[in-house]
């Protein structure tokens, strides 16, 4: 609250923040101080799912002006390296990323960001929808990497926020049937709400038994599996479930070392792909939201003012609801 209001550089904009979603990674940094090799060594501002209003523009900014409502892409390349040149800037090793140590995030009143990575929101897209473009982008990137297309049969493992956006995007991209697994009945109900065709509540089944249930519900083995939990047993189930010649995309991050039936995948030519965040997804997401072709509004289940941030984080930590949204601007009551 007492931090000075930053001054934007020539190619930056200063934003008055509006809506910021809480991600599992934010909670993980708060609780554990690290995710893999990313270690919090100094105080760090959290938040990377965000939208706000431009209040000041740098001297070199021409596409935005004060008063514009924008969604913020949190990953900004620092140099024009080989990954940026090939259009895969998310893989740039020196990328700035909100709320990844040592880079501060945007869960605050005022925040400055590269103007090129702020995207103007159409009038019919709310601030909340703008903040949800970040998790939605994970779904867009994962489904593109998976090759979802007309008629695809898709298995989404995990029905948290990232599992749900993958359901939404897979259906949008033409998937004929999507089956979702989770241990939580309420989360599976939310998956049904956003378009899942079938759900499986996993209890004590073996990975092979889960795979068998997926096949019997779809009437065939899925060509595509999107694994959103990072749990070893779920990755194993993903391999067993995927049709020979199909694709398994690993989205969820768990332990660094995982035991999987790799020979099963290899001899059946199941392609295993990873994703790291996303790239080139904000324009696509904004078009989809503006045209009302997708609806992400049901994902937001809790809202808190910035003053109650701790309560909001506790709610997320307990796994209540789906997406918890913080409102950073007390003067603005718009959605």
Confidence of residue 266 (pLDDT cuts 50, 70, 90): very high
Averaged pLDDT of the chain: 96
Residue 167's pLDDT is 98
Residue 185's pLDDT is 96
Mean pLDDT of 125-132: 98
Mean pLDDT of 218-234: 98
Confidence of residue 335 (pLDDT cuts 50, 70, 90): low
Residue 4's pLDDT is 86
Give the span between the Cα atoms of 170 and 184, in whole angstroms: 21
Q: What percent of the chain has pLDDT over 70?
A: 99
Q: Looking at 94-108, 254-268, 320-334, which range is the least confident one? A: 320-334
For the entire predicted model, the pTM comes to 0.96
Q: What percent of the chain has pLDDT over 90?
A: 95
Give residue 224's Cα distance to chain centre: 19
Mean pLDDT of 66-74: 98
Residue 333's pLDDT is 62
Mean pLDDT of 247-253: 97
Mean pLDDT of 183-192: 96
Domains of the chain, start order: 12-120+296-327 (3.90.180.10), 140-274 (3.40.50.720)
């Amino acid at each position: 609250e007492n931090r000075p209001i930053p001054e934007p550089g020539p190619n930056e904009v200063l934003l008055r923040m509006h809506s910021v979603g809480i991600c599992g990674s934010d909670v993980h940094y708060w609780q554990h101080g690290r995710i893999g090799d990313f270690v919090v060594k100094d105080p760090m501002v959290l938040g990377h799912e965000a939208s706000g209003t431009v209040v000041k523009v740098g001297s070199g900014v021409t596409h935005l002006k004060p008063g514009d409502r924008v969604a913020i892409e949190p990953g900004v390349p620092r140099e024009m390296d080989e990954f940026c040149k090939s259009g895969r800037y998310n893989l740039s090793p020196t990328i700035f990323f909100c709320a990844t140590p040592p880079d501060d995030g945007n869960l605050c009143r005022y925040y400055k960001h590269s103007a090129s990575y702020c995207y103007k929101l159409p009038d019919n897209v709310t601030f909340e929808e703008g903040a949800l473009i970040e998790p939605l982008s994970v779904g867009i990137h994962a489904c593109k990497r998976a090759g979802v297309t007309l008629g695809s049969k898709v298995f989404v493992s995990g029905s948290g926020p990232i599992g749900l956006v993958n359901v939404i995007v897979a259906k949008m991209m033409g998937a004929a049937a999507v089956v979702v697994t989770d241990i939580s009945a309420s989360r599976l109900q939310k998956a049904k709400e956003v378009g899942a065709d079938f759900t499986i509540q996993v209890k004590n089944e073996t990975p092979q038994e889960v795979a068998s249930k997926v096949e019997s519900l779809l009437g065939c083995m899925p060509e595509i599996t999107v694994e959103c939990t990072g749990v070893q047993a779920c990755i194993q189930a993903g391999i067993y479930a995927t049709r020979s010649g199909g694709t398994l995309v690993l989205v969820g991050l768990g332990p660094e070392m995982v035991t999987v039936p790799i020979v099963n995948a290899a001899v059946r030519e199941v392609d295993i792909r990873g994703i790291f965040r996303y790239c080139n997804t904000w324009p696509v997401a904004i078009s989809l939201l503006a045209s009302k072709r997708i609806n992400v509004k049901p994902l937001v289940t809790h809202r808190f003012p910035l003053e109650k941030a701790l309560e909001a984080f506790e709610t997320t930590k307990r796994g209540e609801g789906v997406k918890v949204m913080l409102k950073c601007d007390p003067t603005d009551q718009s959605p």
